[in-house]
Structure formats: structure tokens, C-alpha cells
Amino acid sequence: MKTASNRPQLPRVLTLPLRLLPDRLHGVLAARLLERIFAAQRADGELDFIAGKSLRIRVLDAGIDLGLAADANGFVSFPPERATDLVIEGTVYDFLLLITGREDPDTLFFQRRLRISGDTALGVYLKNFLSSVDLDSLPLATLVRPGLDRGLRLYERVFQPSTPGRPWKTEGVQGTSLRAKSKRGYSIS
């Protein structure tokens, strides 16, 4: 198990492109993606527990704040100022572990790597739903899953904290090395 101090962390400078996009756009894209991914589960009534509820997903190290709700037409985005029933917070790394299935939702929630606040009953339902989903049966799984797995391995290699004076462990990443340019910046070569 990786502790908080030795888990890969996304450098703040790399979040700039994500932070330049409005939260609303992040939400719209996430709502459309979730609607496609979970269309069969919605049709089967497996997501009825979330109908009429609102959910906020905060990706803390990336500065992303997604507001999502489920209505009769599917998932929709809403503005950040709206009150929500449930908030889920975590890092890019922990959400990647969840999405790729490398860590199960129970582990991530019980170790407080993904944190929930608000309607805890809704949070438990959501956690149980995520635990029950067969990732390989989701649409585009055969196309997307290998890329996500490779992306997670690359993320771990590039952004793994290491010894003092070397902010990231980069051994083994072909064609990529991060060299200190100054105390504040890095150049990729």
C-alpha cells in the first residue's frame, strides 16, 4: 500500500490547462461521459437511487470541481454554487485507481483516500454501485481500459515522489526525463 507521502502526485504546474477550463465545461463533459458509460445500468434501474440527487466530485490536486445531478433525462451538470447532496473528494491518482479497478471503492473510501461528505446513505449506495460494476462490461471497455491502465502506470512512474532533491522518480520512462531547470520550474526532455 502506498502511503500519502509516497503516492504519485500531479504537479500544480500541469493542472494549468485543466484550471483554465470553466468548471461548468468539466461538468458537461463528465455528465455526457457518465451517461454513455452507464446507459445500460440506468435502463436497468440500477441508478434509481441517485435520481433527483446532486453530486459534487472534487479532484483536489487538479483543481476540478464537477457538479452533477441525475434527472429523468440522465446526468446533467450544474454550477458550483448550487448545494449538493453528496461530495466526493480525492486526487487524480486515487480516481485513476478507482476507474481502472486497480483499487476497489471500499479500500479507497475506508482509507480516506476518497472522502465523502453530505448524505452518507447516498455515498454508501454509490460506493456499493461502483463496487458491483464489471468494468470490462462497460461500453468502450476494450478500447479505453488498456489506455487507462498504461496511463496509470506512466502516471505512477513520472509523478512518484522520491528522494529529497529529486521531486519525481523518472527511471524507466522511455524518452521522458524531468530535469530541474530552477527551484520553481522543470523542463521535459
pLDDT at residue number 111 = 92
Share of the chain above pLDDT 70, in %: 80
The domains located in the chain, with CATH, are 10-139 (3.30.1050.10), 142-188 (no CATH)
> Is the pLDDT at 34 greater than 70, yes or no?
yes
Q: How distant, in Å, are the alpha carbons of 10, 52, 57, 58, 147 from that of 96?
A: 12, 27, 13, 13, 12
Percent of the chain with pLDDT over 90: 22
Q: What is the pLDDT of residue 39?
A: 86
Sign of CA dihedral 95, 117, 24, 4: negative
Q: Residue 82 pLDDT > 80, yes or no? A: yes
Instruction: Tell me the C-alpha distance between 67 and 160, whole Å.
Output: 29
Q: What is the CA angle 143-135-123, rounded to 5?
A: 135
Write the pLDDT tens digit of every residue in 111-124. Answer: 999 999 999 999 98
Q: Give the Cα separation of 77 and 54 in Å (integer).
A: 9
pLDDT at position 187 is 41
